[in-house]
Amino acid sequence: MSTDSEDRHRGSWGFQPEEGMWEQRLAELVQFAADAGRWPRATGKAPIAERRLGQWLTTQRRELRGCALTEHRRRRLDQQLPQWHTAGVITPAPPAPHPHAAP
């Protein structure tokens, strides 16, 4: 089993973009979901930026099913968009607790 550090630096099947680009796509997906209230479409008449995000999301789902998505990336997706692996309705993730909040 690989370590979390190894997972972050190994691209699945050799074609995943570097970690910085992956995080950028995740941020774009989070923003799209918040603004549109739905997942981006990967095909059809969607604008090219939406299709790019839809294709990226499809790739993440495919990698999850094929056991190729790194644990680090799965956790990041789960934290930001808990329902990312389904095509259902988007429910926003609860806000992270403030680090100085009393327990």
Q: Which domain holds residue 28?
A: 4-80
Tens of pLDDT along 61-77? 999 999 999 999 999 99
- Residue reference for tokens 């690989």: 2
Does any domain span residue 88? no
Residue 75's pLDDT is what?
97
Does any domain span residue 103? no
The residues of the chain scoring below 70 in pLDDT are 1-17, 88-89, 91-96, 98-99, 101-103
Residue 86's pLDDT is what?
84
Residue 12's pLDDT is what?
46
Number of domains in the chain: 1
* Whole-structure pTM value: 0.71
Terminal-to-terminal C-alpha distance of the chain: 35
Does any domain span residue 75? yes
Does any domain span residue 59? yes
> For residue 60, how many other CB atoms are within 10 A of its CB?
24
Does any domain span residue 97? no
